Amino acid sequence: MAIIQGRPVGILGTGMKLPLKVVTNSDLEKQVDTSDEWIVQRSGIHERRMAQAGESNAALAAASAREAMRDAGVDAGDIDMIIVGTNSPDTLFPGVGPVVQGMIGAGRAGGMDVQAGCPGALFGMSAAAGGIASGIWDNVIVVGSEVMSPLIDQTDRGTCVLFGDGAAACVMGPWREGAMRVTHADMKADGNKSGMIEFPGGLAAEPASERTLREKRHFLKMNGREVFKFVSKELPDYLANFCQSCGITCDEVDWWIFHQANIRIIEKICERMNIPMGRVVINLDRYGNTSAASIMLALHEAREDALIQRGQKILISSFGAGMTYGAMLVES
């Protein structure tokens, strides 16, 4: 059941933090055998950000969390939990969540990471919604934060052109007048497809060795074509069913926030679901695929740009390594 019961749950504020360095498609033309035309045509991406020294995953996450707290009018001392959706933690442990807890001085908060492919932050928001609705937590910071660039083979043109770094956050808490309200959420996984996107080397299954380095097992591996097929086949029916379980039709959704992986995937989903592109939030042209940060960045920018108006329905969905996917309905 997708409906969130118990205490009404709100999104009280949002924030974001991007690395300063911009990498354009023409920069990448100097790095690998690619072209601006190919990248734009196949992905819709024009530029992305790349973290430099001092811009760790935790530093970006903490900066975005501070902005979200300012926006929400909530102090660090009021935070009960920090959930960071990430696939590129600075270290396997400690997680980014506990490090952010220390950086922002959230004295009484817990901290943890959700590693669930690109939907990590959406899964984190769903967990936060459950915790707030049931009364375990009052205020929860959920961050999507990625520094994927060191985990990507910068000589592999199949992946290095697609991904970008960045972080965005929201503060969730008991719903109050004027805040967005989270009403429904659902999360799925299909572990039988786990080979489509993976990071095989340097961990327990394949500890770092000369071989893992030589064979570049410590970089993201993706079968882009299979991912494309899987997502454009599964997501339309899944999202239509999700709408039904929320008691609405797809036409009643005012804004669709999709995982910003690739414009062609989004267009394919919209074509299959008859969603006008004018109702879709797009920022992947400027940031690329920022993995778990992507839906958070899009949500924050859609609020900042006043795309989202009072009384509208926003459907947020994501997909990624696992394969995982999920959806959340929010009313503004």
Residues labelled catalytic:
118, 259, 289
Residue 157 binds ligand COA, judged by CB under 6 A: yes
Q: Are the C-beta atoms of 163 and 289 separated by less than 8 Å?
A: yes
**Binder of ligand COA out of 43, 87, 115, 149 (CB under 6 A):** 43
Q: Are the C-beta atoms of 165 and 19 separated by less than 8 Å?
A: yes
Q: How far is the CB of 158 from ligand COA (least distance, A)?
A: 5
Residue 87 binds ligand COA, judged by CB under 6 A: no
Tracing tokens 């379980």 back to the chain, one arrives at 245
Q: Is the peptide bond before 119 cis (omega within 30 degrees of 0)?
A: no
Candidates 62-70, 140-148, 221-229, 268-276: pick the segment binding ligand COA (CB under 6 A). 221-229
For residues 122, 259, 316, 113, the Cα torsion angle rounded to the nearest 10 degrees is 10
Q: How far is the CB of 225 from ligand COA (least distance, A)?
A: 4
Residue 225 binds ligand COA, judged by CB under 6 A: yes
Question: Using CB under 6 A, which residues numbered 254 to 313 contact ligand COA?
Answer: 261-262, 264-265, 289
Nearer Cβ to ligand COA (43/101): 43
* Euclidean distance between CA atoms 239 and 329, whole angstroms: 11
Strand partners, 189: 324
Nearer Cβ to ligand COA (102/158): 158
In 3D space, the residue among 130, 169, 185 whose CA is nearest the CA of residue 325 turns out to be 185
Candidates 105-113, 155-163, 177-185, 270-278: pick the segment binding ligand COA (CB under 6 A). 155-163
**Binder of ligand COA out of 158, 174, 200, 202 (CB under 6 A):** 158
Q: How far is the CB of 104 from ligand COA (least distance, A)?
A: 28
Nearer Cβ to ligand COA (137/319): 319
Q: How far is the CB of 319 from ligand COA (least distance, A)?
A: 6
Q: How far is the CB of 206 from ligand COA (least distance, A)?
A: 22
Nearer Cβ to ligand COA (31/244): 31
Instruction: Please give the angle made by the CA atoms of 185, 326 and 62, to the nearest 5 degrees.
Output: 85
Candidates 145-153, 224-232, 248-256, 296-304: pick the segment binding ligand COA (CB under 6 A). 224-232
Residue 199 binds ligand COA, judged by CB under 6 A: no
Q: Are the C-beta atoms of 67 and 40 separated by less than 8 Å?
A: no
Listed in order, strand segments (DSSP E) in the chain are: 9-17, 22-24, 47-49, 79-85, 110-114, 139-146, 166-174, 180-189, 197-198, 221-222, 255-258, 313-320, 324-331
Residue 38 binds ligand COA, judged by CB under 6 A: yes
In 3D space, the residue among 86, 52, 69, 94 whose CA is nearest the CA of residue 15 turns out to be 69
Q: Which two tokens stand for residue 136?
A: 């375990």
Q: How far is the CB of 108 from ligand COA (least distance, A)?
A: 35
Candidates 38-46, 232-240, 242-250, 308-316: pick the segment binding ligand COA (CB under 6 A). 38-46
Tracing tokens 């919604």 back to the chain, one arrives at 129
Instruction: Please give the angle made by the CA atoms of 95, 16 and 230, to the nearest 5 degrees.
Output: 70
DSSP string, 250-301: GGG-SEEEE--S-HHHHHHHHHHHT--GGGB---HHHH-B-GGGHHHHHHHH
Q: Which residue of the chain is nearest ligand COA when measured via CB? A: 224
Q: Which residues bind ligand COA (CB under 6 A)?
A: 34, 38-39, 42-43, 118, 157-158, 161, 197, 222, 224-225, 227-228, 261-262, 264-265, 289, 320
